[in-house]
Amino acid sequence: MFQKKYFALAALAVSFSLQSFGQGNPAWPAVFQKINTEVQTNSKAYSSLKTASETIGHRMTGSPNGKKAEEFAYNLFKSYGFTDVRYQPFEVESWSRGSLTLQVGANANQLQNIKAVSLAHSPVKANFTGPVVDMGNGLEADYQSRPEAVKGKIALVYLGVLSGSPEGTRSLHRSEKTALATKYGATGVIIINTVAGGTLLTGTASVTGKLIPIPAVCIGLEDGQNLKAQLQKAPLTAKIDMTNNSGKIKARNVIATLKGTSLPNEKVVVGGHLDSWDLASGAIDNGIGSFSVIDMARTFQKLKLKPKRTIEFVMFMGEEEGLLGSEAYLEEAFKNKSLQQLAFMLNYDMTNDPKGYNASQESCRELFQSIGAMAAKIDTTFKNSFSSRAGLHSDHQPFMLHGIPTGGSSGGKLPKGAGDCYHADCDSFQLVDEQGLKNTVRFSSMLLYGIADANTIPARRLNDEETKAFLLQNNLKEPLKIAGEWRWND
């Protein structure tokens, strides 16, 4: 009795919410039920990701594997019935790792090898020996307290926030910590991973996607803790000897377009980055996101869904090297004057088993939770949570910086053990949870359809001053200034 009453009230709430917001499309619940059945029964996300992981391997931008991944995605879109599929080529500064030796000891004559991995965009060649200085979290405050401490030396910094740090301390991205070390004169940086068990993390150390002037390496948590303890007792010297490869290469975003019916010139972009780092297959980062987007596209085609707005399903390349693919997408939108058509951008980066939705603008709450209430009625494991927030370092960022509203699905958790394998050599297909992947596809397809088919989208593109205020409100000025992307004078 209670359950029936609950669903009746929920249905009434959904109806009222949609009517009050001017959406009021009575066909949505039936469409969402069809989406749910199709994905639960016929999803190809898991099998396609498995095939890609086993036959391609890593999907590093600019590599032969990266090219294979682009073609794999293109052919999947075509096989699902898309007639408008295209490559969007762009040129990037390619980087690939070569050799690396990291040695640390009491002096230059007593050095011992430490297991390490080069961080991307480190110099093509570097061979430097110098004193090691513990710079704590590697944040601006750590350097301001000792502005000359690291000049001409090698900075040792923690990837996250150390226990005992002042309350409310906010961490920065590894690239931003590297930029700060460079700013204060360091000749190298050793970054300590946060994951136990000797796990090494790769990823870019560049805020621009171009080569950095100093070598940057990552070491395991236990080795890092050991070095910090030794530095409490006596000085240490480190030698970083590395070679890498760099040069201009071509990469391609892959775009499949589903034209809208009554509002074809309003465009909803839904994307995820197809590329990965080279240490593993990248099944979690970002296979679970990108192959969910491809399966969302398959679902729309299979059900012949025709929302009001045009949808572009985009596989971005070059995200890991500095959001290069999404930057290229926006650059083309500027050139062909299609920027004004961008109504919303949904980004799927390591999204798994979502329980709700998120958006950059609070004004989306009512519509998103109306959609979510329908999803929750179909499956009560969907909790219909909503959050309004903004962050950096994924393909939504260039859209957001141009005032375009962004969002996605949220509230879920990665499969067990997957978080520790972020950017590491253990990011393999065995970590993927099939039902979690299906959940991403079905609940996200419902959100996408609702946004694309709504009478109006309750979020708008912000002008320049509004964008600035939005970024300040979300505490994003500092990392954007470090990255050189704060375009305002103050």
pLDDT tens digit string along 119-153?
999 999 999 999 999 999 999 999 999 999 999 99
**Domain at 21-84+259-482: CATH code:** 3.40.630.10
Check whether domain 97-246 has CATH 3.50.30.30, yes or no? yes
Alpha helices in 114-212 (DSSP H): 140-144, 174-183
Give pLDDT tens digits for 301-337. 999 999 999 999 999 999 999 999 999 999 999 999 9
Confidence of residue 485 (pLDDT cuts 50, 70, 90): very high
* DSSP SS3 for 407: strand
| Confidence category of residue 13, pLDDT binned at 50, 70, 90 | very low
- Residue 76 predicted with pLDDT over 80: yes
278 with 60: CB under 8 angstroms?
yes
Element containing residue 347 per DSSP (H, E): strand 342-347
pLDDT digits (tens, 9 = 90+) for 391-429: 999 999 999 999 999 999 999 999 999 999 999 999 999
- Tell me the CA end-to-end span of the chain in Å, nearest whole number: 60
Task: Write down the residue that tokens 């950059």 correspond to.
Answer: 360
Mean of the per-residue pLDDT values of the chain? 94
Asked if pLDDT for residue 357 goes beyond 90, the answer is: yes
Tens of pLDDT, residue by residue over 198-213, are: 999 999 999 998 999 9
- Residue 6 pLDDT > 90: no
Sign of CA dihedral 353, 405, 363, 9: negative
Q: Where are the domains of the chain?
A: 21-84+259-482, 97-246
Cis peptide before 286 (omega within 30 of 0): yes
Residue 163 has pLDDT above 60, yes or no: yes
Please, which pLDDT band fits residue 7 given cuts at 50, 70 and 90? very low
Kindly report the pTM of this predicted structure.
0.93
Coil/strand/helix, residue 156: strand
Please report which helix (H) or strand (E) contains residue 312, including its range: strand 309-316
Model confidence band, residue 2 (pLDDT cutoffs 50, 70, 90): very low
What's the average model confidence in pLDDT over 439-443? 99
Query: Checking DSSP bridges between strand 237-258 and strand 85-105, what pairing results, if any?
Result: antiparallel
Q: What percent of the chain has pLDDT over 70?
A: 95
CA triplet 297, 298, 299: central angle to 5 degrees? 90
Residue 490: its pLDDT value, please?
86
In this predicted structure, the answer to whether residue 23 has a pLDDT above a threshold of 70 is no
Condensed to tens digits (0 to 9), the pLDDT of residues 48-63 reads 999 999 999 999 999 9
pLDDT digits (tens, 9 = 90+) for 241-272: 999 999 998 999 999 999 999 999 999 999 99
pLDDT number for residue 364: 97
Torsion angle, alpha carbons of 90, 268, 44, 273, to 10: 30
Report the distance separating Cα 248 and Cα 466, nearest Å: 36
Question: What pLDDT is attached to residue 94?
Answer: 83
